Chains A and B, each alone.
Chain A
Amino acid sequence: MLLFWISAIVKIALIVGTLVNMAAILLWVERKQSAMMQNRIGPNRATIKIGSLEIRAAGLVHSIADGIKMIWKEDWEPVGVDKFLYRLAPIAALVPPLCLFAVIPFGPTLYPDHARDLYDASWAQDAMRAVPMQITNLNVGVLYIFAVAGAGVIGAALAGWASNNKFSLMGGLRAASQMVSYEVAMGLSLVGSMMVYQTVRLDEMVTWQTQHCWGIFTQPLAFVLFTTAAIAETKRVPFDVPEGESELVAGYFTEYAGLKFGMFASGELVEVCTSSALLVTIFLGGWQLPFVQLTGFEFHALGIDLSWHWAHFIVVIVGVLTFVLKCAGLIFMQLQIRWTLPRFRYDQIMKLGWRMLLPAALVNVLATGMVLLFLNGGAHS
């Protein structure tokens, strides 16, 4: 029991700490990556001076400077705001993406008693001595994710409503309608995956992919649909009409300053992380590296029989690293898309959501069902 509580607290602290810091790091990645794409040098002037030593860290210091600025900036509240909702909104915007990570498995289960041994399936019987690399293993997995992701809209809507500003209200309205629309396509696009995996638990999804093949090969259309919907959920370019600065100043967070604005901004970046983690878990095999089993490296194909046994803790570390690297790749891709595509018009976004993604997701469900029925020989499974 003690192990359970300690590991749970450590995991929560680790995940939340990583995610919040990832927001600062992504701020830098975004600035530097866009600079490189646009043939610019990018941020590099913020300096930490220790004696004659000057630390610029290729612009990473700017993130620290931004953090300090946001904390010390005057927390200004406009007249006539709904004070309670106005203060609640940034929290409601930042917390859901952080909570999303609770059910995402980021590595194989660790058995601390057998750290140096070769994996054995019998360890799993002693569940009290196991540390799953997942904060909590909910049996509703994906449904929990839809619920919490759906709650993300509350922050934007509240901010728009409570700010007592017409631009904010328009932004909040747009955010609400856009996120609700894409929630539908997002949910339906995963139905096919749930049918293939026969489960909604994320750890079992990863296990299925370890035993068969990655989800992107069984559900390629769902991958595209879910990626689109996930980018739309983050409210970033090309889906950033809620904050479209050319018409709405800054949309639903127009009236926010200092750390409250920072919470909206970092909430967006944390959302990028969590959507990448979700994509990795459901479509890219989670923490699984090809040819690496729980016992180590195994390659049995083309007449070659390669077996290279690793101690248990090495397999766990490799798994976690694989997950982190896969997430990093997807985050990179999302940022690249953000700096490549222009902003869609509002009606285009609605059209894309309801008239392209939704029917495509329905067709995907139908096709998946037909193929599964055919594979099972027409029997109920």
Chain B
Amino acid sequence: MPGKTKVLKKPNRSLAEQAYLLEIAKGLGTTLKHFWQGTSQMVSGNTPDAVKDPWADGIATISYPDEKRPYAERWRGVHRLTHRDDGSPRCVACLCCSTACPAQCIYIKPAEYAEGDARHGYERYPELFVIDELRCIFCGFCVEACPCDAIRMDTGTHMTAYDVKSDFIYDKAKLMSMVSQHGTQKSENPRHEPGDPTHPGVDRLHGGH
């Protein structure tokens, strides 16, 4: 039993198109137009700003390391640890991010603040905060998971290529040194320190719930 056959329509080409020569001339016309446009732009130095106007006629590429296209505001780049006002990390070592991480690239060693510290009993701090950027898949789950807005991926820089594998292991100091696209190391979200009037005053050691 014959199967279904699909009959393809023959392209309806005119004799002039079949002869090919005229079409070659047309194609050459198009490429020559672009050649002339590009050459005159390069010679006169009037190349369109491909960064600002990517759809302009003429030269459409940029000299990458010299010129860069801006990344979108929410583009996920290399992580950074946000700072508090006093320069310590906002991170409270709750391990939410390392738990959420599908690539298991975050390692945190939590530690207690010393006795007498205002934060003692309320929160912990990361003694070690290590991200293996080679393992990271840049999904942004850690940022979503963080309850304290302590980890962000708004640096606007992508992963650099290093020669040595150990250079890809970002420790706490390195992560703290990263700066956001807008040049800040902090976060715009408010932070309520223990002792502040806005702080709920509930702590882990003394209960209160």
Identify 27 residue pairs between A and B in the complex whose beta-carbon atoms are under 8 Å apart, listed by A's number.
A33-B35, A35-B38, A36-B34, A36-B35, A36-B38, A36-B39, A37-B31, A37-B34, A39-B34, A39-B38, A39-B58, A39-B59, A40-B38, A40-B59, A40-B60, A41-B62, A44-B63, A336-B31, A336-B32, A336-B35, A337-B28, A339-B31, A340-B24, A340-B27, A340-B28, A341-B24, A341-B27
Q: How far is the CA of A179 from the CA of B201 in the complex (A)?
A: 89
Q: Are B61 and A41 in contact (CB under 8 A)?
A: yes
Q: Chain B residues near A224 (CB, 8 Å)?
A: 21
A198-242 Cβ-contact flags toward B at 8 Å (1 or 0): 000000000000000000000000001000000000000000000
CB contact list, A1-57 vs B, under 8 A: 33, 35-41, 44
Which secondary structure characterizes the binding site on chain B? helix
Residues of A within 8 A of B32 (CB): 336
Is B103 part of the binding interface, using a Cβ–Cβ cutoff of 8 Å? Answer: no
Q: Which residues from chain B contact A337 at a C-beta distance below 8 Å?
A: 24, 28
A236 to B21, CA, bound (A): 18
- Which chain B residues border A341 with CB–CB below 8 Å? 24, 27
List the 10 closest pairs (A to B, CB-CB), nearest first: A36-B38, A39-B60, A340-B31, A37-B35, A37-B31, A36-B35, A340-B27, A40-B61, A36-B39, A37-B34
Q: Which residues of B contact A36 (CB under 8 A)?
A: 34-35, 38-39, 42
- B28: chain A residues at CB < 8 Å are 336-337, 340
List 11 other contacts, CB 8 Å, given A36-B38, A40-B59, A337-B28: A35-B38, A37-B38, A38-B34, A39-B38, A40-B60, A41-B61, A41-B62, A336-B28, A336-B35, A337-B24, A340-B28
Within 8 A of A (CB), among B1-44: 21, 24, 27-28, 30-32, 34-35, 38-39, 42
Chain B residues with CB under 8 Å of chain A are 21, 24, 27-28, 30-32, 34-35, 38-39, 42, 47, 58-63
Find the residue from A33, A38, A339 having the highest chain B CB count within 10 A.
A38
- Provide the residues of chain B in CB contact with A339, threshold 8 Å: 31
Residues of chain B lying within 8 A (CB to CB) of residue A40? 38, 59-61
| CB nearest neighbor in A for B19 | A356
Please report the C-alpha to C-alpha distance between residue A336 and residue B31 in the assembled complex, in whole angstroms: 8
Q: A224 to B21: give the CA distance in the assembly, Å.
A: 9
Q: Inside 8 A of A39's CB, which chain B residues have their CB?
A: 34, 38, 58-61
Q: Which residues of B contact A35 (CB under 8 A)?
A: 38
Q: Is the CB of B63 within 8 A of A41?
A: yes
CB distance from B209 to the nearest CB of A (A): 64
How many interface residues does A have (CB within 8 Å)? 15
B57 to chain A, nearest CB (A): 8
State in angstroms the CA–CA spacing of A40 and B58 once bound together. Answer: 8
Instruction: Tell which of A36, A40, A339 has the most Cβ of chain B within 10 Å.
Output: A36
Q: How many whole Å from A348's CB to the nearest CB in chain B?
A: 10
Chain B nearest CB: distance from A176 CB in Å?
A: 25
Q: How far is the CB of B114 from chain A (nearest CB, A)?
A: 55
Residues of A within 8 A of B24 (CB): 337, 340-341
Q: How distant is A50 from chain B, measured CB to nearest CB, in Å?
A: 21
How far is it, in angstroms, between the C-alpha of A38 and the C-alpha of B28 when the chains are bound? 13
Chain A residues, CB < 8 A from B21:
224
A350 to B59, CA, bound (A): 38
Q: Shortest Cβ distance from B62 into chain A, in angstroms? A: 8
The minimal Cβ–Cβ distance linking B39 to chain A, given in whole angstroms, is 5
Bound Cα distance A37, B62 (Å): 16
Q: In the complex the two chains form, what is the Cα distance from A340 to B63 in whole Å? A: 25
Which residues of B have CB within 8 Å of A336?
28, 31-32, 35
Closest-by-CB residue of B relative to A33 is B35
Residues of A within 8 A of B38 (CB): 35-37, 39-40
Q: Which residues of A contact B59 (CB under 8 A)?
A: 39-41
B149 to chain A, nearest CB (A): 41
Alpha-carbon distance A35/B30, docked complex (angstroms): 14
Q: In this complex, which of A38, A39, A336, A339 has the most chain B Cβ atoms within 10 angstroms of its Cβ?
A: A39
Identify which of A41, A336, A339 gathers the most chain B CB atoms within 10 Å of its CB: A41
Residue of A nearest to B47 (CB): A41
Q: Which residue of A is nearest B42, CB measured?
A: A36
Residues in A with CB closer than 8 Å to B60 are 39-40
* Shortest Cβ distance from residue A101 to the other chain B in the assembled complex, whole angstroms: 27
Nearest CB of B to A263, in Å? 29
Q: How far is the CA of A36 from the CA of B60 in the complex (A)?
A: 10
A residues less than 8 Å from B31 (CB atoms): 37, 336, 339-340
Q: Closest CB-CB distance, A143 to chain B, in whole Å?
A: 29
CA distance A38 to B33 in the complex (A): 11
Interface residues in A313-371 (C-beta closer than 8 Å to B): 336-337, 339-341
User: B32: shortest Cβ distance to chain A, in Å?
Assistant: 7
Task: Chain A residues near B27: list those with CB within 8 A.
Answer: 340-341
What separation, in Å, do the CA atoms of A7 and B31 have in the docked complex? 42
A282 CB → nearest B CB, Å:
20
Query: Which residue of A has the minimal Cβ distance to B63?
Result: A41
> What is the distance, in angstroms, from B40's C-beta to the closest C-beta of chain A?
9
